[in-house]
Structure 1
C-alpha cells in the first residue's frame, strides 16, 4: 500500500542511511568486534565523566543536573573535544579522538578506522535510545492515570494550542517576512511544534514537581504533543518529497496512535493483576524488575512497529503498571528501576549534547549570518508560542500557567529529528537548517533553568493533584 511504503521510507530511512555505509564497507573491511567494544567502552567512560561532572557542577550552581549533562555532552562532542562524535554531524573517523586512541593503544588498523567508527556510533545510538526508553518508563511509573485523566482535557487544549500557534506563526513568518517558499517554510513551522518530553519530565522529577497539577498537565500535553509531532513530521516529509500530502498515511498515524494509547490505558487493570500474580510467584532475583522491563520493551517495540515512537510505548507501559505503589512488588520495582535509570539515562542526554554543533553560531561564516537572523525569529516564536499555550488552561484556579508554558518549550531530541529529516529531504537551505538547529539548541538549554525559576523553590506540596475516589 502506498501509505505504508511511505511510512517505512520516512521512519526507517535514517537507520538505513546509517547502516548502508557500514554494509558497503563490510564487503571490503569488517569491523573487529573487539575494537568496536573498546571504542564503546572508551566512549562510555567519557560520557559518564561528562555526565557526573556536568551534573554536579550545575547542581552546585542551583540548576537542574540534566542541564549539566547536556553541557557535558557539548564539551566532549563535536563542538569541543571530539571525544564522542557521530557520522550524522558530517565527520568521519579522522576527527574522532576515541578512534585515534584505539589506533595508538589497542592496535586498530588505520584502514579499519572508518568502519569501526561507524559501528561504534551505532552502538552508542542504540544505548542512548534504550536510555530514553527507560526514562519514559520510569516517568510512567511515577505518574498516575487518574491524575493524567483528571487534567486530560487541559492537556489536550495545551498541546493543541502549543502545536497550532508556533506552526502557524512560524510558517506565516517565514513566507511573509523572509520570503521563503512554501515547503521549507512549512518544515520550519513544523519543527517549532516539537516538545522534548524526556528533558521536561526529567527536570520536573528533579525539582519534585512531576505530580503537581502543572506537572501532570505538562506531561499529558507533551505526550499528546509527541503524537501530533509524529503525524506532522510524516505529513510534512511527504509534502517535501512528493509535493502533496499523503492523506492515507496521516489518517493511519492518527488512528494507530489513538488506539495504542487508549488501549494501553484500558488494559492497565489486567496488566497490573497479571504482573503482581507472576511477580509474587517468582523466587529468584529480579522477580519484579525483569517482568516490568519485559513489558516496557515489548510495548516500546509495538509503538515503533506501528510507526509511532518507542518512547511512547515505554511511557504507556509505565502508566499500565502505575497502580502498584501500595504493593510489596511495586515498591521493589520502584527501588530497582532507579540504578538502571542512573546507568542508562545519562547516555541519552550526553549524546544529545554531543551532537550539538555550536559552529552554527559562528557569524564569520557567511551562510550562518542569514541563519542567525532567521534563528532569532524562530526562537522568539518557539518560546512565545509554547509559553502562550500554558495560559490556555481553563477550569482550574490555583495553577501556575506560566510554568506549564515554560515546561513545553524545550525541543531537544524531537526538534533534532525534525531538523535531520528536513535536511535529508533537501527541503531546507543551509541558512534555514542552521536556524532550526540553533532554535533547538537555545530552547533545549534555556527551558530547564527557567522551569525551576518559574516554579520557585518554596512552592507548597499542597498543589499536588488530589486523589480521586472510585
Structure 2
C-alpha cells in the first residue's frame, strides 16, 4: 500500500516523465522517419500511375499504420503500446518497464497527432492563400446550396434507410446519418491544388461548399451528440454555433478590407529573417485559436486567415514561403489519416464484420450519390463540370472518423454500425481523388465548348 502511494505520487510521476523524455523523442523521430518515407514513396508511386499524390500518401499511411506494418499507431484510436512495432524497437534498445512503455507510447502518439493537426492547419492556410476571395464570394450562394443539399440528402436518406431497411434504433441511425454529412476539406482542397483546379469555378464552389459543410457538420455533430447523451437537443447550443460560425466567417471577410495595408506595413518595417512568414503565421494561428475558442474547427480559422492575406500585395511572396513549411507538416496529416484506418473491418471472414459490411454497402451508395447530386444543384453557371463538383464533396476523411469515434465512445453505436461507418469513410476517402482526376479530364472539343460558355456567361 505504502509502495503504491510512493510510486503514484506526483513527484515520482514527474521524475519518470523526465527520465522517459529522451525515449519519447526517439519514438517521435522514428515515427517521422516512417511517415516521411511512406509519404514520399506513396506520393511518387501514385504520380507515376497518373493519380493525385495525396492518394499515395493516404495509402502509404494505411501500409505503415493499423492495417499492415503497425509502425505508426495511436493510443486515441484504441491501440495499445504492445501493438506498436516502434515501441518494440524502443524496448529492445532501452530497458523499459511495461508501465513506462505505455506512458511513452501515449506521449509519442499525442505528439504525432498534434503535428498532424498543425499540418492540416498549415494546409488550410495555404489553400486560403491560393483561393481568390472575390471569386469565392461570387460563388458563395451556389456553394451554400451545394453544402446544404450535400448535408440534407445523405443525412435524410441514410437515417431513413437504416431505420426502415435495417430496423436500426432511431438515435444510432441518426448518428450514422450525421456521419454521412461530412466532407474532408483538407483532402479535397489538396487534390484540387494538385490538379491545378483550385481557382476554377468548380474548385471555388467545392472549397466554399466544403467550408460551409464543415460548419454544418459541427452543428449536426453537436445536435446528435447531445441527443445521444440526454435524448434531447440543446437548442441554445445549436443557436450559439450557428451565430458564432456566421459571425466568424463574415467578420473575417470584412477584416480583410482593413487588415491588408497594416500587415504589409509591419512586414516592410521588420528587418530580420522571417519578416513576412512569421507575422503571417502569427495571424493564421491566432485566427485558428479564435475559431477553436468559439467551438468551431481550428482549420476554418486558418482558412479564413489565408483568404484575408490573399488580398495583400505580398501574397505571391508569402505563398512561396509557406510551401516549405507545408512540405514538412502536411504529409504528417495525410499519412496519419491513413494510419488510423483499420482495414480489418473489411474482412468478411470475421463473423462480426459481415453485418457491418452489408450496412456499409448501403451507406457507401448513399454517401456517393448524396454528394454527387450536389453538382446538379449549381445554377447560373453554364458549362460547369457538375460531376467534378459532386466528386469533390465525396471524401469523408478524418471528419467522418471523428463522428465514428464519438459515436463509439458514447456507446451509441454497436460494433456492426461502427464498422459500417468506418468502411464508408475509408472507401469514400480513397475513391474521391481518382474520381476528381477523372471528372476534370475532358475531351478537347468539350473543354473548348465549356470555355466558350463560361466566356459568354
Structure 2 distance, partners of 1:244, 1:109, is 46
TM-score (norm 1): 0.91
Please list the CA deviations of residues 74-123 of structure 1 after superposition, one character each: whole Å capped at 9, or x if unmatched: 00001100000011332211111111111222444444100000000000
Please list the CA deviations of residues 342-376 of structure 1 after superposition, one character each: whole Å capped at 9, or x if unmatched: 00000000000000000001112221100000000
Structure 2 distance, partners of 1:29, 1:100, is 19
Q: 2:211 maps to which residue?
A: 223
Alpha-carbon shift at residue 466 of structure 1 (Å): 8.7
Alpha-carbon shift at residue 380 of structure 1 (Å): 0.1
Q: 1:359 maps to which residue?
A: 344
Count of residue pairs the alignment pairs up: 443
Q: 1:5 maps to which residue?
A: none
Change (3 A) 1:157 1:358: same
Structure 2 distance, partners of 1:465, 1:282, is 47
User: SS of the residue aligned with 2:232?
Assistant: coil
Structure 1 distance, partners of 2:94, 2:438, is 48
Structure 2 distance, partners of 1:62, 1:458, is 17
Alpha-carbon shift at residue 199 of structure 1 (Å): 0.1
Q: 1:316 maps to which residue?
A: 304
The question of whether the paired residues in 1 share the 8 Å contact of 2:381 and 2:454 is answered with no
Change (3 A) 1:458 1:304: farther
Q: 2:281 maps to which residue?
A: 293
After TM superposition, the structure 1 = structure 2 runs for residues 222-301 of structure 1, keeping only pairs within 5 Å, are: 222-301=210-289
Alpha-carbon shift at residue 274 of structure 1 (Å): 1.1
Greater CA drift, 95-104 or 404-413? 95-104
User: SS of the residue aligned with 1:391?
Assistant: helix
Structure 2 distance, partners of 1:440, 1:144, is 30
Structure 2 distance, partners of 1:64, 1:186, is 34
Change (3 A) 1:50 1:458: farther
1:403 matches 2:388: yes
Match of 2:404 among 419, 426, 431: 419
User: SS of the residue aligned with 1:195?
Assistant: coil
The question of whether the paired residues in 2 share the 8 Å contact of 1:211 and 1:464 is answered with no
Structure 2 distance, partners of 1:175, 1:464, is 47
Q: 2:5 maps to which residue?
A: none
Please list the CA deviations of residues 5-39 of structure 1 after superposition, one character each: whole Å capped at 9, or x if unmatched: xxxxxxxxxxxxxxxxxx9x947953621111110
Q: 1:12 maps to which residue?
A: none
Structure 2 distance, partners of 1:205, 1:42, is 30
Structure 2 distance, partners of 1:463, 1:241, is 52
Greater CA drift, 265-274 or 436-445? 265-274
Structure 1 distance, partners of 2:15, 2:277, is 43
1:455 matches 2:440: yes
After TM superposition, the structure 1 = structure 2 runs for residues 114-133 of structure 1, keeping only pairs within 5 Å, are: 114-133=102-121
Please list the CA deviations of residues 291-330 of structure 1 after superposition, one character each: whole Å capped at 9, or x if unmatched: 0000000000000010000000000000111113xx3x33
Q: 2:355 maps to which residue?
A: 370
Alpha-carbon shift at residue 426 of structure 1 (Å): 0.6
Greater CA drift, 25-34 or 292-301? 25-34
After TM superposition, the structure 1 = structure 2 runs for residues 430-469 of structure 1, keeping only pairs within 5 Å, are: 430-456=415-441
Alpha-carbon shift at residue 406 of structure 1 (Å): 0.5
Runs of 4+ in structure 1 off by over 6 angstroms are: 464-467
The question of whether the paired residues in 1 share the 8 Å contact of 2:291 and 2:300 is answered with yes
Structure 2 distance, partners of 1:127, 1:240, is 31
1:165 matches 2:150: no
Q: 1:333 maps to which residue?
A: 318
Match of 1:175 among 159, 163, 172: 163
Provide structure 1 residue ranges, at least 5 long, that are not aligned to the other structure: 1-22
Root-mean-square deviation over aligned CA pairs: 2.1
